[in-house]
Structure 1
């Protein structure tokens, strides 16, 4: 089970860190997606900080701070629920696979993390 947790956690860390970097540099696709779901440009960096914090927390969870890893996974689950809700509210379904996929990854990391804590 640890191997599955390790793989999913690393993939989730890499994807969230990459998404945070894209937010920090105002990548064109970030600006397009945020405009499509009515997220103000002023929120992009703070949302990137949340993604970066989630990636950092998951990383610390992997290196021996288990409660922080679970907290980070919980935060990412909540974050991506909000992202999916924003897409549904704006009726933007074409690119919802990204927040939906990241939500699924964060949820799997959380479940595997909690399963290991037993």
Structure 2
């Protein structure tokens, strides 16, 4: 169980950390997505900060499990907001969104399975 927890959490953290970096440096992809979704480019750095906080929170969850759970839950909410932005402008190309959404969902699931003694056989 620990190996799954480790791999999923590191993968989710790395993906969101790279997305945050792309927002911070002004990479073309987040800019084009912002334009397509009618999100002001001035929001790129604050959105990147949220992604970076989530990525760091997932890593902090190795030391303090509740931080990892909260970070994963926060990223799930972040990507639900992104889904709303896509649907608002009738953009149904949701492949990249689905990958980024499923990673924190999986991280939250394995974190809960690893640390919640209420789940029989999983603690």
Q: SS in structure 2 opposite 1:91?
A: coil
1:74-93 aligned within 5 A: 74-93=73-92
Summarize deviations over 1:25-47 as a string: whole Å, max 9, x none: 11111111111011111111000
Q: Report what 1:101 is aligned to.
A: 99
1:1-118 aligned within 5 A: 1-62=1-62, 64-94=63-93, 96-117=94-115, 118=117
Instruction: Please list every run of 5 or more consecutive structure 2 residues that lacks an aligned counterpart in the other structure.
Output: 118-123
Question: For 2:77 and 2:97, how far apart are their aligned partners in 1?
Answer: 11
Summarize deviations over 1:66-110 as a string: whole Å, max 9, x none: 00000000000000111111111111123x222221111101110
Runs of 4 or more off by more than 4 Å in structure 1? none
Q: Give the TM-score of the pair, scaled to structure 2.
A: 0.90
Instruction: Please list every run of 5 or more consecutive structure 1 residues that lacks an aligned counterpart in the other structure.
Output: none
Aligned-pair Cα RMSD in Å: 0.9
Question: For 1:86 and 1:92, how far apart are their aligned partners in 2?
Answer: 9
Question: For 2:59 and 2:106, how far apart are their aligned partners in 1?
Answer: 15
Question: For 2:87 and 2:5, how far apart are their aligned partners in 1?
Answer: 30
Q: May I ask how many residue pairs the two structures share in their alignment? A: 116
